[in-house]
A and B are shown apart, each in its own frame.
Chain A
Amino acid sequence: MKSYRLQLMVCAGTGCVSNHSFEIKDALEKEIAKHKLQTEAEVVTTGCNGFCGAGPLVVVQPDGIFYQMLKVSDIPLLVEEHLLKGRPVKKLMYVPPKEEAPIPKMSNIPFFSDQTLVALRNRGMIDPENINDYIARGGYKALAKVLMSMTPDEVLQEIKKSGLRGRGGGGFPTGIKWETCKRIQSDTKYVICNADEGDPGAFMDRSIIEGDPHSVIEGMMIGAYAIQNICEGYIYVRMEYPLAIKRFNIAIEQAKEYGLLGEKIFDTDFNFDIKVRRGAGAFVCGESTALMTSIEGNPGEPRAKYIHTVEKGLWDKPTCLNNVETWTNVPPIILKGAEWFSSIGTGDVTHDAWGGSKGTKVFSLAGKVNNTGLVEVPMGITLRDIIFNIGGGIRDGKKFKAVQTGGPSGGFIPENLINLPVDYEELTKVGSMMGSGGMVVMDEDNCMVDMAKYFLKFTQEESCGKCIPCREGTKRMLDILENITSGKGKEEDLNLLEELSNVIVESSLCALGGSAPNPVLTTLKYFREEYEAHVKDKKCPARVCKQLLTYTIDEKQCVEVGHGCGVCKKNCPDNAIIGEIKKAHHIDQNKCGKCGVCYDVCRFNAIRVE
């Protein structure tokens, strides 16, 4: 077996790939060959490292030197200096905001050092298309352990004791779900991995699949063993994840070749097989019943869940569905034990499965923070830690305003709750939710009404349209918000929004409708004064809602500094600016289309916006 002195871990997550990381890889290989270092250095493509904001990334091991935002033109220097001469290249390293000294080692960068990796344990460490890498990192040992030394009930108890809860949204205790599914009598049962990750900006699951597909497969196998009578597993991946689909297929092929999938696994009586199903990209297909309807070959629409899917799911058979991150958490729990897992997180799950949030959660950190990307943190960490330590604070030194968690149907959490520990119950208490782990940070420049409208627009467009409250109700809410942000809002609209929201929450068929009004409800709760400013004063305090802005020209500034240059007049698409060269200009408010072009083109800071 060839061993190399150096391993260059090139990130091939979708974020980095779209930033041309494959070109970086080719350049690296070319340069290495040029310096005849092929025998010493190996270039490895890995899954997503999570720090997507800084991509494309290369980590040079064994020293863990972290290079970011690489360009092909940087590569000759990097290879010559670092690989040949052993001098890490400082100018390609990460520099924390507001500081000057670069941090060479990946493990010293706060973005990485403050994370706790369980689900993402193999990120950046293995080649996702090579099963041997996964095995070398302890892969399939948990499977071997359950098949050789544990009864299905013991596995079940272990998962129950660990306090693992669904990472896809609802936070349903995984052990209880498995137990119920096991209890229902049937010769045919299914396990499903929900990889239909649809939240805008969230890519935890994609990252796990692309970086570590075998961990999901192993988790599903352990689940199938614990539940028993499972005839097949399905992985439902959305079409928009071609790389994830490819890696799953490769992983399944490799596992089959090794006899890890199929019949008589490890010469026991345990048989299991997995099929990949591609979803067409409907957001609602992330809902378990809609997902199953979709696998069955029908349009993905949810159905009533009064009879649970663990009893009557896919093809009316008992079905256990968990999401990618949940399945990935299973093998480490088996290997390291329930005690280890439940030592991370909050609350106590020994008596009540709903009593705490255990383990870690992957969040996709986005919005106005310095470090955007994927972060895995222990449950119970405060929002402040995530946003200000790992996320590196708010961009451009602006003021933090709110954070929206749980994807498009989550709620907004205001600044005074920044020390809130992140777990299922706490987030629900303040009107938001864990969801699948989206986290969008907003600063003072964000208008809360506009943000609520943005998220509602998403859920409204993605509503399948089956039930009336979700189909008609969310559209009416959006209309009202449109009115408010364009200055046509009335004071009673706020109460109407609340009334409508409550009915939609209470009466919708599935969780999509049941949670769609959350952004509106939480902003109404925590930022009501912003709504009132919109409807009463017809003003947008954050100056986002263009229809509510007034553009004026500071005539003094215009004449004295700009000498009435007339650029604004030339560029105004509505011909709303009146004035002659060298004289003060002013804006005809009746004509002004509030496009903001004048503000952008004025070089003399003479345009005022209110």
Chain B
Amino acid sequence: MPKLKIEDLEKISDEFKRTMTVREGGGKVKVTVHMGTCGIAAGAREIMNTFVQQIEEKNVKDVILTTSGCAGLCSREPMATVEVLGQAPVKYVDLNSEKAKKIFEEHVLKGVLVKDYALSIGSERIQ
């Protein structure tokens, strides 16, 4: 291991930032994939994997990916909710991996709503 220079501190810090973001529960955007039995049956795992791949590929540090149970709208599964910090959450329905990719690129990264797939804005979050 070569001796650390000051710049290296930043590099290491940067490299581990994604892990830390997850641990600290911070992050700019939170993506929730609904993984109830219905969701899994409709292919939520594939959506989840797509998001994970995207995060890794694009080397994104400040996005949190999480899961939740059934959202109650089983007929429109797979579903995902994207919540940009400080904005109302947006629910997307009838997803497949293509759609998920697009949502990730547009909404998660650029902050532009993908109206075509969106169901609603706002949610019935548990307090």
Contacts and interface: CB of A to CB of B under 8 A. Distances in A.
B35 A85 contact: yes
A378 to B, nearest CB: 21
A439 to B, nearest CB: 29
Question: Which one of A7, A86, A148 has the greatest number of beta carbons of chain B within 10 Å?
Answer: A86
A491 B44 CA distance: 79
B19 A136 contact: yes
B43 interface: no
Interface string A122-159: 00010000001101111011001000100000000000
B36 to A, nearest CB: 7
A450 to B, nearest CB: 45
Nearest to A133: B16
A4 B5 CA distance: 28
Interface stretch (A255-263, A396-404, A547-555): A255-263
A9 B40 contact: no
B15 interface: yes
Interface residues of B, number: 40
Given A5-B66, A257-B1, A86 B22 contact: no
Interface stretch (A57-65, A70-78, A385-393, A537-545): A57-65
A61 B23 contact: yes
A135 B25 contact: no
Interface string A85-101: 11100000000000000
A63 B25 contact: yes
Nearest to A144: B6
A40 B66 contact: no
Contacts of B18: 1, 3
Contacts of A84: 35, 40
B17 interface: yes
Interface in A1-60: 1-7, 9, 39-40, 42, 44
A40 B48 contact: yes
A266 interface: yes
A435 B21 CA distance: 36
Interface string B40-72: 100000001000100110000000111111000
A9 B13 CA distance: 19
A86 B4 contact: no
A267 B5 contact: yes
A266 B5 contact: yes
Nearest to B8: A258
The number of chain A residues touching the other chain, given as a range, is 35 or more
B35 A86 contact: yes
A135 B1 contact: no
A9 B37 contact: no
A125 B18 CA distance: 13
B74 interface: no
Contacts of A44: 23
Given A40-B48, A125-B20, A141 B3 contact: no
Contacts of A266: 4-6
A548 B12 CA distance: 65
Given A3-B55, A61-B22, A136 B12 contact: yes
B34 interface: yes
Contacts of B19: 3-4, 7, 42, 133, 136
29 contacts: A3-B22, A3-B56, A4-B22, A5-B66, A6-B22, A40-B52, A42-B19, A44-B23, A61-B24, A61-B25, A62-B25, A62-B27, A84-B35, A84-B40, A85-B37, A86-B34, A86-B66, A125-B23, A125-B24, A132-B12, A133-B16, A133-B20, A136-B17, A136-B19, A137-B20, A138-B13, A140-B9, A148-B6, A259-B4
In the A-B complex, the 5 residue pairs with the closest CB atoms: A86-B67, A259-B3, A136-B16, A86-B35, A258-B4
Given A85-B36, A138-B13, 16 more contacts: A3-B52, A5-B48, A40-B48, A61-B24, A63-B25, A64-B25, A83-B67, A86-B34, A86-B36, A86-B66, A132-B12, A148-B6, A257-B1, A259-B3, A266-B5, A267-B5
Interface of A: 1-7, 9, 39-40, 42, 44, 61-64, 83-87, 107, 125, 132-133, 135-138, 140-141, 144, 148, 257-260, 266-267
Interface of B: 1-6, 9, 12-13, 15-27, 30, 32-37, 40, 48, 52, 55-56, 64-69
